[in-house]
A and B are shown apart, each in its own frame.
Chain A
Amino acid sequence: MTALAPELTDLQAVVEEVWSTFVGYEHPLCPRQVPPGTPLDASVWSGAVSVTGEWQGAVTVELADDVAQAISRVMLDLGDAETLADDDVADAVGELVNMIGGNVKSLMPGPSSLSLPAVAAGRAVFPSDAHEVARLDLTWTGEPVRITVHCPGSPR
């Protein structure tokens, strides 16, 4: 069985719309050329949501620590001098992956349900029965940002 995947251009449009609305236009998201399977070489925060129903999959967002902290400050309207706690970062990363995942869900056949986000300080790792069907490697302020869609079933 071949897993149905969102078009990369649609995924990119979703990510850019969410990012520009909630993080802003001041610094653009830029493409990052890396070979498939390349692990992120930075210390990261990650968030994941899963979709179950007519379409099944998971969407993950991985952000370099500096990116996760910077976008949390923007989303919470915190100044540089104000303290940013880990649960603030977890909340912001969770909301980011929730919005991206919710929009990916809307691109795919329904009906289906979106899970609550799970967030970790570290990479997003999946068991071997899930495979990557779409991935965006980007940079923001020079630091890596990765959005990945995983599906159960055989790789294409």
Chain B
Amino acid sequence: MKILIADDSRVMRQIVIRTLRQAGHGGHDVVEAENGRMALEMVASEAPDLVLSDWNMPEMSGIDCLSALRASGSQVPFGFVTSEGSDDMRQRAAAAGAAFLIAKPFTPEAFDEALRAVL
């Protein structure tokens, strides 16, 4: 299993990796992208089984990355890990084809619950 983590913050990528481990999902291969454009390219080159993406990123946002992926025909499972968990954001995420949205601050339990549904 390969997971692509897209976040412009190295701190947050580190925290997501640590939380995956705490949630019992530490055995997966992890690849990292610093923005949505890089994530888009890495879905093609790395063929991840899941994308965990921030929403707000320079170059290309997470929601634009997801829209581009779906427009290109990719159906890779895609979940947001973002500081904004409003109903409006959740609706936009779901409408664009996201499997889940985990709002920061998050717990290992929230990760486990979201990942179990897609893995």
List the interface of chain A (C-beta within 8 A of B): 17-18, 20-22, 72, 75-77, 88, 91-92, 94-95, 98-99, 101-103, 105-106, 110-111, 114-116
Apart from A21-B106, A114-B83, 15 more pairs, CB < 8 Å: A18-B104, A22-B15, A88-B10, A92-B11, A95-B12, A98-B56, A99-B104, A99-B105, A102-B82, A102-B103, A103-B84, A103-B103, A106-B84, A114-B84, A116-B8
Dominant SS at the B interface?
loop
Q: How far is the CA of A91 from the CA of B82 in the complex (A)?
A: 16
Q: How far is the CA of A75 from the CA of B104 in the complex (A)?
A: 14
A-B CB contacts (within 8 Å), total count? 64
Q: How far is the CA of A105 from the CA of B104 in the complex (A)?
A: 13
List the interface of chain B (C-beta within 8 A of A): 8-12, 14-15, 18, 56-58, 82-86, 88, 103-107
Taking the closest CB of chain B, its distance from the CB of A91, in whole angstroms, is: 5
Taking the closest CB of chain A, its distance from the CB of B109, in whole angstroms, is: 12
Q: Which residues of B contact A106 (CB under 8 A)?
A: 84-86, 103
Contact of B83 with A110 in the complex, beta carbons under 8 Å? no
Q: How far is the CA of A114 from the CA of B103 in the complex (A)?
A: 14
